[in-house]
Structure 1
């Protein structure tokens, strides 16, 4: 430990009295630093988790075949592929009696197996993989225990359910505060050069070296990291859902009809049609859509953000005897004729009034597509495309594709990984700086300014952030109160 660090640890009050903001720093520096400190202290461990899990998930297309090669990968054969209904029958024979087929993954790749998802009698979901050339069952995987699904759930909610989802939403919001205050702190002042802000001084040693690396890395990452965090917020469990509802209410979000008004269900032959029921005539079964059930609730791996709030049909009491739904193969051929041949999922109808729900979520958001098909007649009930989205949903769709590293392929994945790991590096370097500066037995928060300026712009930014993100607003108030009431006499250090 250096002499200066020893003195700082033993006599923090004297250090505070002699220390001030860095040369040329603007008034309000310590106030910004204090908020930067609180934001960083909270988000540091979670940023590392988000960075690792996000980077892994970004490379899902490359990683999963390596994890499950005997299930996902097959040797291309010269013989034609078997009919999808024959493959589904083989998959059904491999699961316990009473299991219900819920989803089919449609792929035209010659080196990939066919995948079908079943809901087992005990409630678990299981994927069954079948060789498309000879029909052999290659194996099964528990959907919720699949590596990438676990990684995704850690990334979204730390495997803690709703509380974890809210916590990670707060982490994202406070990361925005950390980025904003960090940029304001380290942006070169009147007497500093731009080069000094953009290039770390590797000649330094100890904490000054870590500070230089932390500052320059933060400036290089600031814009990309801000966009990276912002594009993930629409998918959060609390604010994201509210944002989607607001966008829809002002006709800038989901397609028309997403919030009711369109009865999407298969019409059993011999029973009144949806249009007939909508005109005021009830069906003999008294079928009504299940309240609150949306596309986000469907047994699909992922659906486009814009259609997540689209309501789906409920279940009737019974269908007409002798009426048989169309086979899955018919739907696949129908979608092929409509231009979809690869990389989409079909949620299978599990009730007489259920529909085939086709969800196409490609890398290019302009190609996104959601189709509802009557299971008896094959009639297309709705075909929702990118052109049907509102302005907000179009922007979110592009942001999502970029955030997940899908839009530009491998280069996009590399950029996302660099941003993720860069944020993790900021967390690590910030922690090291704090640990080297922190006096033993104290939190080590930066000292307050003796005569802090009003900083109306900063206060306004916090208020706006709290209004836009209400959960964030509550924590801003909580941090302010704790800082004012509990940490006033905590003896924070002032080393810059």
Structure 2
């Protein structure tokens, strides 16, 4: 009787734990690949999240000025003239960040003859030039490029995208492995047991941290993927095609050129196709990468652009050589009259047909705004707001704001930092666990089960994941083949 009971208990335990080692095996492979990238993402993401607090500490003499209650600020055009005088003659002003904080300097971004972009900082009260900074080499930009591309260009961008996709596998299998089963209570799964020792303690800390961080990590991954260079672009195109992404006209179909001053607008109105045919009208500007026909928002010299408008074609002003372009001060006043007071960027016209492009990318996505203003007449050619976005773009906008720690202030920054650093801790504890159990001269992958269950749900999920993320699908297939051919022999023997 006791023997039968024991056999039944063993059978029941085996049934409950069926598939455990298979899940562990995939969790191991995912973690082995993701761990180094996860540490980089966590550290760089945490630093970038606190950019508003860190940059003034790094560059106080350029960014911070003494507020002057009795001295009026100089006009934007006067400050721009002083900035131009401080730069080489062949440098060209491309962007004017507009900020009204009384203790902040005024910044203008110039493109040098060699293509490098450089920021010039001035005291808005006296016009004194406070210094310059390379846009590409300033600390936070380097940190951002590490976060997105490992400073390796396109290959690095694909690697980081792949790491994000494999993090989904790591999260799913990790939660499944530690989900309460048999006599395990929810308390045991959620509360660390610090009295354990050795590898058992590391395993417990790793698992409990993983359960707590799973939801935050999932949100991080899903909110970051739309910005990736491969899948993100395809996703944006698909969302737009389904009328769920960019606002109407972002991919053509709306007038993209204003009228000549004094001439009827309908005579010179055009579409995206007309825009492409106007190249002969301003061939002298073809070499200017900031004013070529067919430019979209992502091509402009902006630090950040709302995801929804990244593919929006930039309109053009009327090509009127006799007309006088409006001064920057007039554009700032116009934008203020439209409800945007501070914290936005203006891309300056780079040619006779260029426009003033205003990009407002605040913490609250509902306030996002993109404006295109004719440089001669001040006519607003387009005014794209959050309400014009499709359903997907609205969701991405909120995800981005949460991902960057901007949506609900310092509390959002602290939450993002806790999740990021927690994920780095997961990578460290996972590495320690692997090192403690790793056999010499072996990868140390968990052994394969002798009679693994079908696990059709998991297999279907992985296939779907591979279809949605094709780059990941290719690597899933590669790992599966390697597991069967290269690592399979040793693990079968160990089993």
Q: Which residue of 2 aligns with 1:306?
A: 308
Is residue 74 from structure 1 mapped to residue 65 from structure 2 by the alignment?
yes
Q: CA deviation at 1:493?
A: 9.3
- Return the match for 1:212 from 192, 204, 207: 204
Q: Would the alpha carbon gap of residues 436 and 24 (structure 1) be closer, same or farther in structure 2, given more than 3 Å must change? A: farther
Q: Deviations over 1:200-245 (max 9, x none)?
A: 1111111111000001110111111111111111111111111111
Residues in 1 aligned to 2:355 and 2:294: alpha-carbon distance in whole angstroms:
17
- Return the match for 2:143 from 139, 143, 151: 151
Q: CA deviation at 1:142?
A: 0.4
Q: Would the alpha carbon gap of residues 203 and 284 (structure 1) be closer, same or farther in structure 2, given more than 3 Å must change? A: closer
Q: Which residue of 2 aligns with 1:262?
A: 254
Q: CA deviation at 1:492?
A: 7.5
TM-score by length of 1: 0.91
Q: Which residue of 1 aligns with 2:165?
A: 173
SS at match of 2:94: strand
Cα RMSD over matched residues?
2.3
Q: Is the 8 A contact 1:445 1:493 kept in 2?
A: no
Q: Would the alpha carbon gap of residues 80 and 439 (structure 1) be closer, same or farther in structure 2, given more than 3 Å must change? A: same
Q: Would the alpha carbon gap of residues 263 and 492 (structure 1) be closer, same or farther in structure 2, given more than 3 Å must change? A: farther
Q: Would the alpha carbon gap of residues 28 and 87 (structure 1) be closer, same or farther in structure 2, given more than 3 Å must change? A: same
Q: Is the 8 A contact 2:257 2:269 kept in 1?
A: no
SS at match of 1:64: helix
Q: CA deviation at 1:25?
A: 5.1
Q: Would the alpha carbon gap of residues 488 and 304 (structure 1) be closer, same or farther in structure 2, given more than 3 Å must change? A: same
SS at match of 2:345: strand
Q: Is the 8 A contact 1:294 1:308 kept in 2?
A: yes
Q: CA deviation at 1:257?
A: 0.4
- Return the match for 2:98 from 76, 95, 106: 106
Is residue 28 from structure 1 mapped to residue 30 from structure 2 by the alignment?
no
Q: Is the 8 A contact 1:103 1:345 kept in 2?
A: yes
Q: CA deviation at 1:382?
A: 0.4
Q: Which residue of 2 aligns with 1:8?
A: none
Within a 5 Å distance, the mapping from 1:7-406 to structure 2 comes to 26-77=17-68, 78-269=70-261, 273=265, 276-278=268-270, 286=281, 290=292, 293-313=295-315, 319-406=319-406
Q: Which residue of 1 aligns with 2:446?
A: 446
SS at match of 2:127: coil
Residues in 1 aligned to 2:257 and 2:58: alpha-carbon distance in whole angstroms:
39
Q: CA deviation at 1:266?
A: 4.9
Q: Is the 8 A contact 1:199 1:216 kept in 2?
A: yes
Q: Which residue of 1 aligns with 2:6?
A: none
Residues in 2 aligned to 1:140 and 1:236: alpha-carbon distance in whole angstroms:
30
Residues in 2 aligned to 1:155 and 1:284: alpha-carbon distance in whole angstroms:
37
Q: Deviations over 1:244-299 (max 9, x none)?
A: 11100000000000001224345443778575353898769546995653111110
Q: Is the 8 A contact 1:157 1:163 kept in 2?
A: yes
Q: Which structure has more RCO (C-alpha within 8 Å, separation ≥ 6)?
A: 1
Residues in 2 aligned to 1:357 and 1:22: alpha-carbon distance in whole angstroms:
65
Q: Would the alpha carbon gap of residues 227 and 122 (structure 1) be closer, same or farther in structure 2, given more than 3 Å must change? A: same
Q: Which residue of 1 aligns with 2:456?
A: 456
Q: Would the alpha carbon gap of residues 487 and 377 (structure 1) be closer, same or farther in structure 2, given more than 3 Å must change? A: same
SS at match of 2:121: strand
Q: Would the alpha carbon gap of residues 329 and 441 (structure 1) be closer, same or farther in structure 2, given more than 3 Å must change? A: same
SS at match of 1:105: strand
Q: CA deviation at 1:438?
A: 0.2
Q: CA deviation at 1:396?
A: 0.6
Q: Deviations over 1:357-411 (max 9, x none)?
A: 0000000000000000000000000000000001111111011100000001000
Unpaired runs of at least 5, structure 1: 1-19
Residues in 2 aligned to 1:467 and 1:291: alpha-carbon distance in whole angstroms:
35
TM-score by length of 2: 0.91
Q: Deviations over 1:326-365 (max 9, x none)?
A: 1111100001111111100000010111100000000000
Q: Is the 8 A contact 1:271 1:284 kept in 2?
A: no
Q: CA deviation at 1:489?
A: 1.4
Q: Would the alpha carbon gap of residues 284 and 233 (structure 1) be closer, same or farther in structure 2, given more than 3 Å must change? A: closer
Residues in 2 aligned to 1:256 and 1:211: alpha-carbon distance in whole angstroms:
51
Residues in 2 aligned to 1:105 and 1:404: alpha-carbon distance in whole angstroms:
20
Q: Would the alpha carbon gap of residues 243 and 99 (structure 1) be closer, same or farther in structure 2, given more than 3 Å must change? A: same
Q: CA deviation at 1:324?
A: 1.6
Residues in 2 aligned to 1:66 and 1:264: alpha-carbon distance in whole angstroms:
42
SS at match of 2:489: coil
Residues in 2 aligned to 1:36 and 1:382: alpha-carbon distance in whole angstroms:
49
Q: Would the alpha carbon gap of residues 277 and 332 (structure 1) be closer, same or farther in structure 2, given more than 3 Å must change? A: closer
Q: CA deviation at 1:24?
A: 8.3
Q: Deviations over 1:48-107 (max 9, x none)?
A: 000000000000000000000000000001201000000000111111111111000000
Q: Is the 8 A contact 1:107 1:343 kept in 2?
A: yes
